[in-house]
Amino acid sequence: MDYAYGSGVMVIEKQTSRFYGMVFPMVKSAAIALMLLAACTPRAVQTTAVTATMDAYRATPEADSPAAGICASFKEATILIAIRAWQGNVPDPRCISVRADQNLIIQNSAPEAITFRLGRFQATIDPGETYAIEPAFGEYLAPGAHSLHIAPYGGPEIFLDSAK
């Protein structure tokens, strides 16, 4: 039997008996399938790892401007939001306009634990406790309107004003 090798595929040129005539087409098909499978099998490839630090991530705003319309603003470097059992689950103020260099402290004045989420930060705060987000707003939020999600209550919008 003659064999020809090329491109990593074995090709059978000639059959020498009846038995081989029946078996070799199946073997040939199986061999080709195995070679194709081997060609598609992942191999060790040198890669360069690309990593992004959490400091580089800034949450995308939900809107360009706040739905509440007018937002309260504060000159202090740290914004304190006290969460209490709001009547009708409406926060006061409904919107807070912040600068990129300000940061946030959340104080739980409610009678039960609350869970908040803002950008990449999330935590449960027990009654009477506070949670400080040390990085400035501009380090984890992109400019625009973001929701400060507070369960089981509603939360205010945080509007990071790029013009400030």
34-52 pLDDT tens trace:
555 555 545 443 433 333 4
Please tell me whether residues 11 and 68 are part of one structural domain: no
* Dist CA 146 CA 144 (whole Å): 7
List of residues 6+ apart from 35 with CB closer than 8 A: 8, 9
Please tell me whether residues 119 and 149 are part of one structural domain: yes
Which of 81, 96, 85 shows the shortest CA–CA distance to 131? 81
- Structural domain contains residue 136: yes
Counted domains in the chain: 2
pLDDT of residue 38: 56
Torsion of CA 52, 62, 159, 141, to 10 degrees: 0
Question: Residue with structure tokens 């300000």?
Answer: 102
Q: What is the pLDDT of residues 102-149, one digit of tens each?
A: 999 999 988 899 999 999 999 999 999 999 999 999 999 999 999 999
Q: Which residue segment(s) compose the domain that 28 sits in?
A: 3-40
* Dist CA 121 CA 105 (whole Å): 12
Please tell me whether residues 29 and 97 are part of one structural domain: no
Average of per-residue pLDDT values in the chain: 76
Record the pTM.
0.63
Question: Residue with structure tokens 């926060």?
Answer: 91
Radius of gyration of the chain (CA): 32
- Structural domain contains residue 93: yes
